[in-house]
Structure 1
């Protein structure tokens, strides 16, 4: 019998995922829990295990294709009676009362029904009267436009909320798309393809005839001279989060340039210590330790604004986010309970975090729930910036490059190693005095690492 596996609910409210690569192919025999594919959500790359033992019948998506939660992903030829396919609930579906929820290995969803797909609520198009008979639009010419009059009542096209929003932005009527793709779930690719056909026909009708004797000049849209990169995965999630943060929390950024010569001298001595030869302790680890110490005296910077409850929630722990630039985009994995760690433990945690992020193996759990973040812009040779707060956090510190430059020291001008710190904070929670005091506390530790012994 053929068993179909649909993309499961991967948690965190995610509605779609991109197939990174298939690890099986049609005709291949697979074992229970064998990894079928790697899919990339808006937060991480996830391995999907097989819920069946059998032979791969077909793949419903290609590598690089975005699949909606609940859409068919892969089909198996399995022995015995037809199994209940693990699948998440899809918008518009209604589970039979006698059926039980089946585990789908990543999330949970309603088991499929053999009675066919439930009817969807009707949508009225054009000037059809309430008494008009319900009908399904079976076909439409490829040159149909979104403004075409359809004097009938049709079923609501099968799609997910993100696809419907995408179609609305492009001005595409999903009814006309459904007429082309049939009764299957409409994807973003279907919407994009329909929009491109409309645009091509529109450009063709608007292109003016060349003036005799004039040289041809490229005008308007020039596909051969442009590169279009789909906005999806981590980049899509990051963009949405940054827009939400920038237009929700009133950002304030303050800067402080500090002499870190003593810190750099300390790190040089630690590198020569044979007992620490297996650890990579760098300036970022010292900054992380200084931040954890300084947050003890600045509770507003280790807090979040709870709009619904009308409360400011102060955290009694530090889940420290470390921004990491990867090939998939910017992610901010976190180190849990960072305030309990020694300098060496923080250095090891940062190194492990970076290695996992570069490999694309950061789990969704490591990307959620941070209380304060650090962005090391110094690795790019940048001195200062205005970092945007991760949603749900009230503070983020950007660490600039360490540079040797003339600096006043002990009443004289000398070549010293300096670094600029940039602190952005939510002005609803943190006022200027608390932000400045926190930044000064971090700077004091970097100027004189021995001062860390005086903080708790």
Structure 2
């Protein structure tokens, strides 16, 4: 017998954000499949050396640092867009900090996107610690209350930007038979006694400047890749990482000759907002990451 499962707060937020994305943003997607054989070998050697000398670094963490280096070379991708369709006016604010939104799978199967703040200032160890800290904060966070407050803050920001269409959302939320409410009374008082540095706040969800989604971490044996994924406004760039895969490829051997062999390939989807930038904007990103994958010795200095 069929049943109806109504959207909870997390699903409401996600459905609203992605619908807004696809309604307003002209997406352009580039499927990038770099050969990371040399890079992956260097990463494995680094993890072996760290077993006795220091904390382990996950592949996800080191890829976040690779992406940060790419974004440093392509600052237009780390930006916020403001666009008025009727006036045909727009602007792009290049952000000083690289704040990475990372989708995080919760124990109950839901997903949120907390933000790694100022990733461009962090070493590999600091990035790893920041990810662990996010995990600890999530354990102390009431996710529904977090999303409720984040939605409120996002609505107020939209009103300040004179996006009056958001008023329909407010009215609908108030008259809906299935209203979602925040914490109240003693429960609210007890929750907000938890210091902000020990739990996630709305800022931890709304301050992202670029999103990096790693589906490879969810299923490492997958053989496919992202073809497209949504850009969450006002961001203009999103990256989808697949799982490392083995494929036949042409490479230069130790003798300097071209040969064919089994190579490690990392499928990556790079999607950008065509209102904000053209394909030329991602070329510096690609050149930087290509060089890192080809000559990865620099990762030892991160």
So what's the TM-score if we normalise by structure 1? 0.47
Q: Which residue of 2 aligns with 1:444?
A: 291
Task: Evaluate the alpha carbon distance shift between residue 276 and residue 448 of structure 1 in structure 2; reply closer, same or farther with a 3 A threshold.
Answer: farther
**Is the CA contact 1:318–1:339 (under 8 Å) kept in the aligned structure 2?**
yes
Please give the secondary structure, in 2, of the residue aligned with 1:296.
helix
2:245 pairs with 1:403: yes
Superimposed CA distance per residue, residues 286-317 of structure 1 (whole angstroms, 9 cap, x where no aligned partner): 22111111112212101111236842111111
State the distance in 2 between where 1:313 and 1:306 align. 8
1:425 is aligned to: 272
- SS where residue 226 of structure 1 aligns? coil
Closer, same or farther: CA 263–366 of 1 in aligned 2, 3 Å: same
Q: Deviations over 1:226-252 (max 9, x none)?
A: 132120211110110011111112111
* Matched-pair contact (CA < 8 Å) for 2:223–2:245: no
Deviation at 1:426, TM superposition (A): 0.6
Instruction: Please report how far the alpha carbon of residue 378 of structure 1 lies from its aligned counterpart in structure 2 after TM superposition.
Output: 1.1
Equivalent of 1:307, from 74, 78, 83?
83
Structure 2: tracts of 5 or more residues without a match:
144-198, 253-257
**Match for residue 11 of structure 2 among 225, 230, 235:** 235
CA displacement, residues 91-133 of structure 1 (integer Å, 9 cap, x when unaligned): xxxxxxxxxxxxxxxxxxxxxxxxxxxxxxxxxxxxxxxxxxx
8 Å contact 1:279–1:348 — kept in the other structure? no
SS class of match (1:272):
helix
CA spacing shift, 1:382–1:247, aligned 2, 3 Å = farther
In the alignment, is residue 330 of structure 1 matched against residue 111 of structure 2?
A: yes
Total equivalences in the alignment:
231
* TM superposition shift of 1:328: 5.4
Q: Is structure 2 residue 163 aligned with structure 1 residue 321?
A: no
Alignment of 1:388 with 2:244, yes or no, is no
2:91 and 2:18 map into 1 onto residues whose CA distance is 22
Contact 1:444/1:451 (<8 A) preserved: no
Q: How much does 1:352 deviate?
A: 3.5
Structure 1, unmatched stretches of 5+, are: 1-224
Higher strand content, 1 or 2: 1
2 CA distance for matches of 1:294 and 1:302? 10
- Structure with max Cα Rg: 1
Whole-Å separation in 1 of the counterparts to 2:102 and 2:52: 23
> In structure 2, how many angstroms separate the alpha carbons of the residues matched to 1:357 and 1:276?
30
Q: Check if 1:413 corresponds to 2:260.
A: yes
The answer to whether the Cα contact below 8 Å between 1:324 and 1:357 also exists between their aligned partners in 2 is: no
Task: Return the offset for 1:278.
Answer: 5.3
For 1:2-401, list aligned pairs within 5 A.
225-274=1-50, 279-307=55-83, 310-326=90-106, 327=108, 329-354=110-135, 356-357=137-138, 362-379=200-217, 380=219, 381=222, 383-385=224-226, 386-401=228-243
1:435 is paired with a residue of what secondary structure? helix
Give the structure, 1 or 2, with the largest relative contact order (CA under 8 Å, sep 6 or more): 2
Deviates more, 1:358-367 or 1:250-259: 358-367
Classify 1:228/1:358 alpha carbon distance in 2 versus 1 (closer, same or farther; 3 Å).
Answer: farther
SS in 2 for 1:230: coil
Can you list the C-alpha shifts for 1:118-154, whole angstroms capped at 9, x where unaligned? xxxxxxxxxxxxxxxxxxxxxxxxxxxxxxxxxxxxx
Distance (whole Å) between structure 2 residues aligned to residue 354 and residue 324 of structure 1: 9
The 1:285–1:310 alpha-carbon spacing in structure 2 relative to 1, beyond 3 Å, is: same
The whole-number CA distance in structure 1 between the counterparts of 2:65 and 2:265 is: 18
Distance 1:268 1:328 in 2: 30
Query: Which structure shows the higher helix fraction?
Result: 2
Cα separation, 1, equivalents of 2:130 and 2:224: 25
Change in 2 beyond 3 A, CA 1:345/1:362: same
Deviations 1:379-430 (Å, cap 9, x if unpaired)? 2226421121122111111111111232212111122211111101111111
Name the SS for the 1:387 alignment partner: coil
The SS at the match of 1:433 is: helix
Q: Is the 8 A contact 1:238 1:330 kept in 2?
A: no
- Return the alpha-carbon distance in structure 2 between the equivalents of residues 238 and 285 of structure 1: 25
Structure-2-length-normalised TM-score: 0.69
